[in-house]
Amino acid sequence: MTTLTLNTGHPMPQLGYGTYKIAPEDTVRAVRLALDAGYRHIDTAQMYGNEAEVGEAIATSGIPRDEIFLTTKLNNTNHRAEDARSSFAQSLEDLRTDYVDLFLIHWPLPTLYGGDFLSTWKVLEEFFADGRARAIGVSNFLPEHLDVLLEGSETVPAVNQIEIHPYFTNDASRRANADAGIITQAWSPLGRGAVLDDPAIVEIAERRGITPAQAVLAWHVGRGDVVIPKSVTKERIVSNMDIFDVALSDQDYEIITALDRGEDGRQGSDPRTMDRL
């Protein structure tokens, strides 16, 4: 398992286990499978409704808390200062921990809260200052959203978690992150499974003797992004870890990158207009 160093100086495992849309009743088992397989980076969110189960899985795993990199995210309903503070305290209680390794604003919501996500960011700076968040960052922030934070605050986000997969390489956001010293983390790294049947990816996988998912995840990792694939199947959880010895050629990278469809490839919401509470 490789790690990347955040701008705080802390290491972050480059491969994590995502828990998006894992039902609470399935979460303890799924996270324990991931931990047993060797994952030491777990990603959840207030929005997912499974923080308590993630916390239970970690607390009962027998793995020391300081060996697990734990991320959660602020729900869209909690951007006002007092809501952010109270919900963060609840997240820590649900997760059975006195700190998280990374806390993110889940969406910028520029059409809500008067377009003011800077005030919300300054509340996250409080959590960073008091040590309850070892690092703070954002999710789904476009370059123009990052500019507001960089110009209006003292803390550069450690991570920007954004949609990235071969059909949506999101290179403008990746460049803006890199220019600011922000780690890029890819959510939906397998394009919700849509890219796994692409003939170009299937051909690379067959030629390399790997699965299409391994080919795509190796592409992400080789480009320097953090990835958080999700599965509740033990075989796939284990398989998704086995990517760090995959040797893609420069041509393989070029073939996969060329699958980019620009905005037509976006599968999730557009951060410019996303306004769901």
Catalytic positions: 48
Cα-based distances in Å from 76 to 48, 145, 229, 239, 269: 12, 16, 23, 33, 13
First-to-last C-alpha distance (Å) of the chain: 36
- The set of residues, in sequence order, having a beta carbon less than 8 Å from that of 92 and lying 6+ positions away, is 98, 99, 100, 132
**CA atoms of 46 and 94, how far apart (whole Å):** 10
**CA atoms of 195 and 111, how far apart (whole Å):** 31
**CA atoms of 247 and 245, how far apart (whole Å):** 6
Specify the DSSP element, H or E, that contains 91.
helix 81-94
Cα-based distances in Å from 100 to 16, 66, 68: 15, 10, 10
**CA atoms of 105 and 112, how far apart (whole Å):** 14
**CA atoms of 162 and 141, how far apart (whole Å):** 7
Strands (E), 24-156: 41-43, 69-74, 102-105, 136-139
Q: Which residue has the tokens 């033990």?
A: 234
**CA atoms of 88 and 90, how far apart (whole Å):** 5
Contacts for 175-180: CB closer than 8 Å, 24+ residues apart: 176/142, 176/143, 176/146, 177/146, 180/146, 180/150, 180/156
